[in-house]
Structure 1
Amino acid sequence: MSLDHIPRVAYNKDHEAFRQTVRLFMAREIAPHQAKWAEQGVVPHDVWVKAGAFGLLCPTVPEAYGGLGLDFRYNAIVSEESVYTGGVATGFALQSDIVANYLVQYGSEAQKQRWLPKMVSGELVTAIAMTEPGTGSDLQGMRTTALKDGDHYVINGSKTYITNGQTADLILLCCRTDVEIEPRWKGMSILLVEADREGFQRGRNLDKIGQDEADTSELFFHDVRVPLSNCLGQEGQGFVYLMSELPQERLSIAIQAQASAQKAFDDTVEFTRTRNAFGKPILDFQNTRFTLADLKAKLQIGWAHLDWALNRHCAGELTPEEGAAAKLWHSETQWEIMDKCLQLHGGAGYMNEYPIARAWRASRVTRIFGGTSEIMKELIGRKL
């Protein structure tokens, strides 16, 4: 089974040809190794280089910086196919959908020339460090500071729940470069911090309940010195940049949620068709058919909405509240579909040897990262 059975309106023939390349890579380089990577808690660095060689990383980066200069729909295809295969979408999507755009939009020419080509090739793995212990979604409450000392910033603080934290070579660090100014968001900046800087330390690879192959870490900064030229864009504009880029980040999460929900549904239809109870396939029971019919309708609506959102985003028209709504609806619907699909697997659904168990665990975080569902409702509600 593949996503080919889903009618789409957001993609053209070039997009679908790219999809076949992505699918080939996932089948050849990802699927055979997923169980091992989940056990190890990390995707090896050489996989990033292979993904770069296939053109899967940062497709929207302009050709002048080693990219393909394509539209965001190509990023979406990588996420859809990766999630449908069952893994690694989180790390790839963070680099392609989030970090790359910050550099393209706000980076200096020197910063773009230095880092973007290696991000495209997979030689450089990146992370973005926002969340701190005790702050969660409250970015204005961050305490990590970067204070000027001559021609350098001196960074002190810590971050947590950082995707790609164990493997990142470059971290986009959100911090306070002005600790006196009010409101606090006006003193926030984004600094580019290389992982080999003295005073930088990775914490443990955090033990999560899902997405086992994605390394997620604590990061510590003790008197880490970076040159003033490592400031991304203008000093003090970090919060504005974050708010500007969040619609794409949240659309990226919505894409992953939709594709994983579709995979769970397809697997469950096949399972109920072949598993018997009381002398007949589980699919023949009315409760099973009605449950799956309801989920199928929601998936149909979800794909239509996703294509609408993709088209609006590529036209530069997706608003922050629309991005928040996409993230809210698709992540909440994903969880409903996952939970009902696991229920239809019965006891087998609780066993990690079945894909639905791993998918169910992995899906729980989509209602949290990128802003919790409660925060999404608040953002949407403010525009009513």
Structure 2
Amino acid sequence: MVSTMAINKDDSRSFLTEKHLLFKQSIREFLAKEAVPFYDQWEKEGEIPCSFWEKVGDNGFLCPSIEVDFGGIGADFGYSVVLAEELERVGSALGGISIHSDVVAPYIASFGTIDQKQRYLPKFITGEMMSAFAWTEPEMGSELADIQTTAIKKDGYYLLNGAKTFVTNGFKADFMIVACKTDPNPVPPKDGISLLLIDKDKPGLTRGRKLCKTEQGSSGTAELFFDDASVPVGNLLGEEGKGLSYIMQKLQQERLICAIRSIMAAKDMLHLTMNFIKSQKAMDKKRSAFKKAQFTIAEIATDIHLGRTFIDGLICKHMTGENIITEVSMAKQWITEMSKRISDKCMQLHDRYGSMGDDKIIRRHRDISSPTFFTGTDETIKTLIAKNIGF
């Protein structure tokens, strides 16, 4: 059990109210019972069971921002921060739940019709339906506009053809948003990219192999193939040809969630490493070795504190609706790279023990690189930052 006092001491942050902290305590206690004991087994099996998703939904933790009219609690972004952090505290593979709750669901909530919201959002909230967002493609470059999957409108349907890869939750998703090209020669303000809502049993949809990535092994990442999949025009999300603009609107929150998860992963690695060094101190007669470890730990703690302070400021601005895509992009790029550096330092401090067995530190080191590639490559993000600061 986790005491309220322990949580308050850990999270005296300006945007967190008493209700946020109670929500955090509930999630932490739930995960300690329903996820932590089984996480290693899920990693070995390569998937998180649907029954766990349903338990998360039954306990009211999914999609906290969704309006009450569609079964949600209409909560502010602080609840999403709490959810993302507590899931990441257990393990990175649970990040698929954050993608479901705070990436896919907001697209439906923001751009969907009333019918689409009623059809999907209540089932998102209960965990009855698992969702995914499919935009990355096998031959895709660093630009979102490079999408090659096409959707040609004919007789009230879109004929969808193409392939997607690295789709988190894709192997078991009941529903997915698919980014595709509906117009090869768009006329502004349209961008030629559209978003289609696809159910799992759609004829013409084939799920490829489960991608057994070296990182986040149980996140259900998969390949998807579309061969003349017939999609009703009523499954278009928002306006035709404006998909890229919708994606850009949501990148701020998506990149912020990514940075939040990365800083929590780094913080957990610091905690694991400190505990390991303390346990070894009695056996280590070389005071100089411990002193050197202290210096490294101090450097890591400083980096994490700087990153956490940066992130917390951005969270406050995001919660008030400010456009901070440049700052969030900076945070995502810097924090994900910083977390990788911290991970390497922590493994070095574990010495030979860091490369043996099934210890959590090994899994953290394995998973830490993955967020670097989320929401755009480093090159894409740096290009956006440079342009936005006038260079």
Q: Could you say whether these structures have the same fold, taking a TM-score greater than 0.5 normalized by the shorter chain as the test?
A: yes
The question of whether the paired residues in 2 share the 8 Å contact of 1:22 and 1:56 is answered with: yes
Aligned to 1:261: 266
SS at match of 1:285: helix
Moved over 4 A (4+): 1-4, 182-185, 281-284
1:78 lines up with 2:83 in the alignment: yes
Distance in 2 separating the partners of 1:282 and 1:188: 61
2:300 corresponds in structure 1 to: 295
Out of 373, 383, 386, the position equivalent to 1:378 is 383
RMSD of aligned residue pairs (Cα, Å): 1.9
Matched, 1:236 2:241: yes
Paired letter, 1:223:
D
Aligned residue type for 2:113: S
Distance 1:30 1:356 in 2: 17
Partner of 2:327: 322
Aligned residue in 2 for 1:10: 15
Consecutive unaligned residues in structure 1, runs of 5 or more: none
* Secondary structure of the corresponding residue to residue 368 of structure 2: helix
Deviates more, 1:279-288 or 1:120-129: 279-288
CA distance in 2, matches of 1:290, 1:249: 34
CA drift of 1:39 comes to 0.9
Alignment TM-score, normalising by the size of structure 1: 0.96
Q: SS of 1:147's equivalent?
A: strand
Cα distance in structure 1, aligned partners of 2:356 and 2:141: 31
The answer on 1:285 being equivalent to 2:290 is: yes
AA partner of residue 72 (structure 1): F
Q: Which whole-Å CA distance do the structure 2 matches of 1:95 and 1:279 have between them?
A: 46
TM-score by length of 2: 0.94
Deviations 1:73-93 (A, max 9, x none): 111111111111224432101
CA distance in 1, matches of 2:242, 2:318: 23
The residue identity in structure 2 corresponding to 1:24 is E
Query: Is 1:165 aligned to 2:174, yes or no?
Result: no
| Equivalent residue in structure 2 for 1:153, among 158, 162, 184 | 158
Q: 2:250 pairs with 245, 248, 251, which one?
A: 245
Question: How much has 1:180 moved relative to structure 2?
Answer: 3.5
Go from structure 1 to structure 2 and tell me whether the alpha carbon gap of 1:114 and 1:283 turns closer, same or farther (over 3 Å shift): farther
Query: Which whole-Å deviations, capped at 9, do the CAs of 1:280-325 have from their partners, x for residues lacking one?
Result: 3879622101100011111111221121111111101142212211
Once the two structures are superposed, what CA deviation does each residue of 1:206-238 show, in whole Å capped at 9, x if it has no partner? 121111111111000011111101000000010
Gaps of 5+ in 2: none
CA distance, structure 1, for counterparts of residue 187 and residue 355 of structure 2: 50
Q: Distance in 2 between matches of 1:142 and 1:112?
A: 26
| Structure 1 partner of 2:146 | 141
Q: 1:48 corresponds to which residue?
A: 53
For residues 373 and 280 of structure 1, what CA distance do their matches in structure 2 show? Answer: 43
Q: Is the 8 A contact 2:63 2:101 kept in 1?
A: yes
1:212 & 1:69 partners in 2: Cα distance? Answer: 32
| Correspondence for 2:193 | 188
Aligned pair 1:341/2:338, yes or no?
no
Compute the displacement of 1:366 (Å): 1.2
Q: Which residue of 1 aligns with 2:26?
A: 21
Aligned length: 384
The CA distance in 2 between the partners of 1:44 and 1:126, in whole Å, is 14
> What secondary structure does 2:24 align onto?
helix
Letter in 1 for 2:42: W
The structure-2 alpha-carbon separation of the partners of 1:343 and 1:220, relative to structure 1 and needing over 3 Å to count, comes to same
Name the CA shift for 1:383/1:69 in 2 (closer, same or farther; >3 Å). same
> Which deviations, in whole Å up to 9, do the C-alpha atoms of 1:55-103 show, x marking residues without a partner?
1111000010111100111111111111112244321011111001100
Match of 1:226 in 2: 231
Q: CA deviation at 1:40?
A: 1.1
Q: Deviations for 1:141-175, whole angstroms, at most 9, x for unmatched residues?
A: 11111111111111111100100011111110000
Between the aligned partners of 1:99 and 1:318, the Cα distance in structure 2 is 20
